[in-house]
Structure 1
Amino acid sequence: MSELKDLQYLSGFGSEFESEDPRCPGALPQNQNTPQKCPYGLYAEQLSGTAFTAEREENRRTWFYRIRPSVCHRPYTPIPSGNFIPEWDKIKSTPNQLRWRPFDIPSVATDFVDGLNTVCGAGDPRTRHGCAVHVYACNASMTDKAFYNSDGDLLIVPQLGVLNVTTEYGKLIVKPNEICVIQQGMKFSVEVTGESRGYILEVFDGHFVLPNLGPIGANGLALPRHFLTPKAWFEDRQVPAGYRIVCKFQGHMFQAIQEHSPFDVPAWHGNYVPYKYDLSKFMVINSVSFDHCDPSIFTVLTCPSTKPGMAIADFVIFPPRWSVQEHTFRPPYYHRNCMSEFMGLIQGSYEAKEEGFLPGGASLHSIMTPHGPDAKCFNTASNAKLIPERIAEGTQSFMFETSLGLALTEWGYQTCQKVDPDYHKCWGGLKKNFQHDSPAA
């Protein structure tokens, strides 16, 4: 398909959208002169992403006009959850800095859902508070199978391979260096060609929104006009052998069988939609006169908590950019933080740790655990001339940052066998430079 032809600009979070497949002109009701029946004999169905009584500016819902209502399925039955499960208490937490080598691609045919593995997280989906970090690794398409998450939103970050995502709203093509957000309850299916791998941030509270810009003003960071949502597309397809609807409910996996495709929506309207964003369109703001700006200036999306200024989770990127600095330390400072920081690398070489931190791998610096540039980066940058410099060219790293204390799953810490035991050694070359009688200029 022609991608832009099948997408529309999101233009603003909470904006109202409407779309109908051109094969069914008039499928989207424009008036209520005949309220008893929808056009074409369709069923009206609402998907609510917030409480009915949420404030108008925060209320999220979409009306589907579909061939069959979603209720037409057999009862749900439990299925194995694999390693995609919020078990934070099986192993003892550690404050150590952690780094993972690139996660393995399966050697047998594995689709997107079966290739989901939980690395760490906090909270409880039953009480709708917390977040989780997952990785996916797959090499096969989902066939007559769809997935939805009852527990929260999924922010998907492809690192290897293109995801062809079919949703109830239409289709999205999501490439490395793009992200896709599938919100709570939205059904989707993923097709891949060859090997595919990436990262997922799941939030149990609320939804992702654009961060407030404050003194930055109207322009900067991620712009609403660069977010895209699908245009309506449907299939009226019977599946006598059974179409599988898989859901994650309270941290466990279930499956229901129905005899038709769930992507049977010729028209929809609302403001609760899946969307994608091209990270190369991020407007970087970064000029340093002294010290260093906090990494919050690189926030793409945030899921706020009930405490002002404190996020359940932020999605932050470190894109190619000009580094313009004057009277300051270079590289950025060493740091201890009241947040947990899970980093991943989509492509290229991360400038603060060029060796060992690889695309498809990850790192975790927990609350108040010190971290910062490795010894090589510090020594090189500390002696470099402070002139405008293009950094991170050809690179895209990111951070899932949360105010919650992330606990590791057994798979993330042990079973995956990707934890690098020598990570701490990258700071081993930081020697004592202190000269009591000769202060630095």
Structure 2
Amino acid sequence: NTEGRCKYLSGFGNEFSSEDPRCPGSLPEGQNNPQVCPYGLYAEQLSGSAFTCPRPTNKRSWLYRILPSVRHKPYTAMHCGNLTEKWDEVEPDPNQLRWMPFTIPKSSEKKVDFVTGLHTLCGAGDTKSRNGIGIHMFTCNTSMVDRCFNNSDGDFLIVPQQGEILITTEFGKMMVEPNEICVIQQGMRFSVNVFGETRGYVLEVYGAHFELPDLGPIGANGLANPRDFLTPVAWYEDREVATGYTVINKYQGKLFSSQQVFSPFNVVAWHGNYTPYKYNLDNFMVINCVAFDHADPSIFTVLTAKSSRPGVAMADFVIFPPRWGVADHTFRPPYYHRNCMSEFMGLIKGHYEAKEEGFQPGGGTLHSMMTPHGPDRDCFEKSSTALLKPERVADGTMAFMFESSFSMAVTKWGLETCQRLDKSYYQCWEPLRKHFDPNWRPSKQ
């Protein structure tokens, strides 16, 4: 498992356990916190929920480590770069927004790792009250060396778009490739290795954890299957760092750093239901319309972070994978609509059916709540006259959506600094022409 490519435990929402094969029997038997742990390890609990949460929502794991995480120097404030929670930097913008692919810095010009390459694009809410989300891009070209990241504010759902990332966590390693996602939950320390120019998207949620959506009338099977979510096998390193190991902590929207003299990835064994995990989007079981009309995109939800209002998500992660389109008497692409949710879309690969040209891999769009959007003119004209027969949709493509009940604020970086904003986006709808005919009558069959 040293390369993070194999030997994962599978499952989702269940109790897992793992121990590094170099130390057989390192998991205590019969109790979580014995007076003396095997191999002289320290027992440490990582809690992702209140102690008194109902059993189905209680999240915690026990880690058995060489030294406890409490042994570090005091945290001090550090430069946050373009990572922010300042939602009032610029005036609100209700327009349809589109960004061209975000620029990846050249390693020959500047070394940028995952943390320094995080850029907040938009978000809402507040980390202090534990209610909100942030959407970030990461563009980097170098691995984190003797540095790890810890998010005290919430969960990271990471969507690589270009380049593999090898994520080392306290629980073990995960290799995550484009067309896969991973979730690093609140409080878990991790480091990211890259193998060249790398880019991707991050959805951060404060105050909730991601879970599988309820299936309702769909029944027992469909969408993302629990057995396809993978958690890492325990792996440890017993390594002292004389020059200091930096632990970076995101806390109340700011970054802080602390020094310690040993690697934080010193967990020999662990068990629990609060773990990092990954998922291959190719495993998604698509549910779709087989008669007429275009079903709502909620049928493509992979993970959801629920709000306190039943049926309303703080954030949904939705994908638009390859599938068959068979609906009769139907305009098959996404319909024109306005929505009480905010929709950020990204493209991992391919060409999105509703906007085949302007929407590019590594870029994004934001359609804020009640801002109208839908297919461009070319898509509308083509699909309105198409011969309706069974056809493959989105072959070679993977688009996704971060959908939220929050009204999103775009950062100054997103609107001004990054210089990737496509100010001509609105023009893709300008050629739409009137087809209204007051003399139209239904044809006789």
Shift of 1:32: 4.7
Shift of 1:348: 0.6
* Count of residues in Structure 1 that have an aligned counterpart in Structure 2: 439
- Tell me if the contact between 1:345 and 1:359 (Cα under 8 Å) persists in the aligned partners: yes
- SS of 1:287's partner is coil
Shift of 1:7: 1.0
**In structure 1, C-alpha distance between the alignment counterparts of 2:322 and 2:158, rounded to whole Å:** 21
**In structure 1, C-alpha distance between the alignment counterparts of 2:241 and 2:178, rounded to whole Å:** 32
Deviations 1:194-230 (A, max 9, x none): 0000000000021000000001001100000100000
Equivalent residue in structure 1 for 2:436, among 420, 431, 434: 434
Question: Which amino acid letter does the alignment assign opposite residue 99 of structure 2?
Answer: W
Equivalent residue in structure 2 for 1:162, among 161, 164, 169: 164
State which drifts further: 260-269 or 27-36.
27-36
**In structure 1, C-alpha distance between the alignment counterparts of 2:193 and 2:49, rounded to whole Å:** 29
**In structure 2, C-alpha distance between the alignment counterparts of 1:2 and 1:141, rounded to whole Å:** 14
- SS of 1:325's partner is coil
Deviations 1:262-296 (A, max 9, x none): 00000000000000000011001112423221000
Equivalent residue in structure 2 for 1:356, among 355, 358, 363: 358
Deviations 1:400-426 (A, max 9, x none): 000000001110111001110100011
Distance 1:73 1:335, change over 3 A: same
Does residue 1:7 correspond to 2:3, yes or no?
no
Matches within 5 A, 1:224-235: 224-235=226-237
Match of 2:213 in 1: 211
Matches within 5 A, 1:89-104: 89-104=88-103
Match of 2:408 in 1: 406
Matches within 5 A, 1:10-89: 11-13=11-13, 15-32=14-31, 35-89=34-88
Question: Which amino acid letter does the alignment assign opposite residue 71 of structure 1?
Answer: V
**In structure 1, C-alpha distance between the alignment counterparts of 2:312 and 2:215, rounded to whole Å:** 15
Match of 2:184 in 1: 182
Match of 2:336 in 1: 334
Question: Which amino acid letter does the alignment assign opposite residue 207 of structure 2?
Answer: D
- SS of 1:277's partner is strand
| Alignment RMSD (CA, Å) | 1.2
Question: Which amino acid letter does the alignment assign opposite residue 402 of structure 1?
Answer: S
Does residue 1:319 correspond to 2:321, yes or no?
yes
- SS of 1:303's partner is strand
- SS of 2:128's partner is helix
- Tell me if the contact between 2:148 and 2:247 (Cα under 8 Å) persists in the aligned partners: yes
**In structure 1, C-alpha distance between the alignment counterparts of 2:103 and 2:32, rounded to whole Å:** 57
Shift of 1:106: 1.4
**In structure 2, C-alpha distance between the alignment counterparts of 1:158 and 1:361, rounded to whole Å:** 12
Deviations 1:80-105 (A, max 9, x none): 00111111101011110000000010
Shift of 1:329: 2.3
Deviations 1:141-166 (A, max 9, x none): 00000001000000000000000000
Match of 2:348 in 1: 346
- Tell me if the contact between 1:205 and 1:312 (Cα under 8 Å) persists in the aligned partners: no
**In structure 2, C-alpha distance between the alignment counterparts of 1:440 and 1:340, rounded to whole Å:** 38
Runs of 4+ aligned residues of structure 1 deviating over 4 Å after TM superposition are: 1-4
- Tell me if the contact between 1:6 and 1:171 (Cα under 8 Å) persists in the aligned partners: no
Deviations 1:244-266 (A, max 9, x none): 00010000000000000000000
- Tell me if the contact between 2:33 and 2:43 (Cα under 8 Å) persists in the aligned partners: no
Question: Which amino acid letter does the alignment assign opposite residue 87 of structure 2?
Answer: W
Match of 1:389 in 2: 391
- Tell me if the contact between 2:4 and 2:166 (Cα under 8 Å) persists in the aligned partners: no
- SS of 1:190's partner is strand
Structure 1 portions without partners, runs of 5+: none
**In structure 2, C-alpha distance between the alignment counterparts of 1:376 and 1:328, rounded to whole Å:** 17
Match of 1:121 in 2: 123
Question: Which amino acid letter does the alignment assign opposite residue 8 of structure 2?
Answer: L
Question: Which amino acid letter does the alignment assign opposite residue 26 of structure 2?
Answer: A
Does residue 1:109 correspond to 2:111, yes or no?
yes
Shift of 1:31: 2.6
- Tell me if the contact between 1:340 and 1:401 (Cα under 8 Å) persists in the aligned partners: yes
- Tell me if the contact between 1:331 and 1:382 (Cα under 8 Å) persists in the aligned partners: no
- Tell me if the contact between 2:349 and 2:361 (Cα under 8 Å) persists in the aligned partners: yes
Output the TM-score relative to the length of structure 2.
0.97
**In structure 1, C-alpha distance between the alignment counterparts of 2:345 and 2:441, rounded to whole Å:** 35
Deviations 1:295-336 (A, max 9, x none): 000000000001000000000000111011112223332010
Match of 2:285 in 1: 283
**In structure 1, C-alpha distance between the alignment counterparts of 2:239 and 2:137, rounded to whole Å:** 31
**In structure 1, C-alpha distance between the alignment counterparts of 2:206 and 2:188, rounded to whole Å:** 14
Distance 1:168 1:440, change over 3 A: farther
**In structure 2, C-alpha distance between the alignment counterparts of 1:205 and 1:309, rounded to whole Å:** 17
Output the TM-score relative to the length of structure 1.
0.98
**In structure 1, C-alpha distance between the alignment counterparts of 2:273 and 2:135, rounded to whole Å:** 26
**In structure 1, C-alpha distance between the alignment counterparts of 2:439 and 2:132, rounded to whole Å:** 51
Shift of 1:5: 3.5
**In structure 2, C-alpha distance between the alignment counterparts of 1:29 and 1:141, rounded to whole Å:** 34
Shift of 1:35: 2.8
Deviations 1:124-143 (A, max 9, x none): 00100000100000000000
- Tell me if the contact between 2:138 and 2:202 (Cα under 8 Å) persists in the aligned partners: yes
Question: Which amino acid letter does the alignment assign opposite residue 386 of structure 2?
Answer: A
- Tell me if the contact between 2:32 and 2:62 (Cα under 8 Å) persists in the aligned partners: no
